[in-house]
Amino acid sequence: MKKIVSVVSLLACTLAAPTISYAADEVNLYSARKENLIKPLLDNFTKETGIKVNLVTAKAGPLLKRLETEGANSPADLFITVDAGRLHKAKEAGVLQATTSVALNEAIPAEYRDPEGFWYGLSLRARPIFYVKSKVKPEELSTYEALADDKWKDRICIRSSENIYNQSLVASMIANIGEEKTQAWADKLVKNLARKPKGGDRDQIKAAAAGECDLAIANTYYYGKMLHGKDESQQKAANAVAIYWPNQADRGAHVNVSGIAMTKAAKNKANAQKLMEFLTTKDSQKWYAEVNYEYPVLTSADWSETLSSWGKFKADSLNLSQLGEKNADAVKVMDKAGWK
């Protein structure tokens, strides 16, 4: 059934695609980000450079499959997706090419880009611990590893092992503490879950606020959307919890990226590189922070008032390419632990 869904999604993506061209003043972008989370920046790029951006949006899996199917005939110059694990999958699929850019290398810290230049992070999202303020004191918390302690039995909400964000979290732990210790941690974490994993990140926070659990693991991006969205029930749930930044005494909190890469089939390479560099300028990075509630990869860019209110934190400095490299090991650990 999953294969049928993928084919249908790919067909829908193909049918919905706008006219793609190779004109000198255009660039073609396949994006797994929702249109409203990228198009305003693309419009700014067009106003500033006169280069038109032809945008195709769809889910990450079908877009990657489309790039593979189109091969050298793909009209896409650039590919945007979320999570370093997915970016690594695209690299492994052979649909990307390395980009050499002094501007990108200077703007983006080494840990947030592929060591060989196949992809570059555009924005950061952290995956900390959220605790119910009326039930948990922050001094009770410390690290991701400590979530395996018996005191958290039946008190944790987290989404399924099929989710790439959780796979990347586990991959980061394997990279930092080794597979054996990560396996022991995952085995115990599963026993501490308050319910069978279901729903997205927002659902974990809503479940915590509703009393189903006391702790939730989620990306900060979703938390910001809940706090400032129009859904009053989500606002209420978000206000019932607070962020705890784990592992501040050692490696730091787990972070991931949304990122961009030049496709192997790119025909408009110069324009593609201009857009990549534009998305890492101060103004673009500030927009990510203010509108998407994501952290800038550019260290000199300003944080929004919302991000600043969550406090400064130490982020894991692991090169995020390892999240993709260790993805298969992470999935194996999660399966062995019975993480549904």
Q: What are phi and psi of 270, to 5 degrees?
A: -65, -45
Cα–Cα distance, 85 to 313 (Å, whole number)? 23
The H-assigned helical ranges of the chain are: 2-16, 39-49, 60-70, 84-92, 102-107, 164-177, 179-191, 201-209, 220-228, 232-239, 269-278, 282-287, 305-309, 321-325, 327-337
Closest by CA position to 210, among listed 149, 134, 159: 134
Cα distances (Å, whole numbers) of residue 326 to 169, 170, 237, 284, 339: 10, 9, 34, 31, 17
Cα–Cα distance, 20 to 10 (Å, whole number)? 17
Name the one residue in this structure whose structure tokens are 């972008």: 29
Cα–Cα distance, 306 to 303 (Å, whole number)? 8
Residues in Cβ contact with 275 at an 8 Å cutoff, skipping those fewer than 6 apart: 27, 29, 42, 45, 51, 53, 78
Task: Label residue 14 exposed, middle or buried (CB < 10 Å: 0-12, 13-18, 19+).
Answer: middle
Do 277 and 104 touch, CB atoms closer than 8 A? yes
- Residue 131 annotated as part of some ligand binding site: no
Closest by CA position to 78, among listed 267, 280, 287: 267
Cα–Cα distance, 220 to 128 (Å, whole number)? 7
- Residue 223 annotated as part of some ligand binding site: no
Which residues contribute to the annotated binding site?
A: 221-222
Binding residues for Fe cation: 221-222
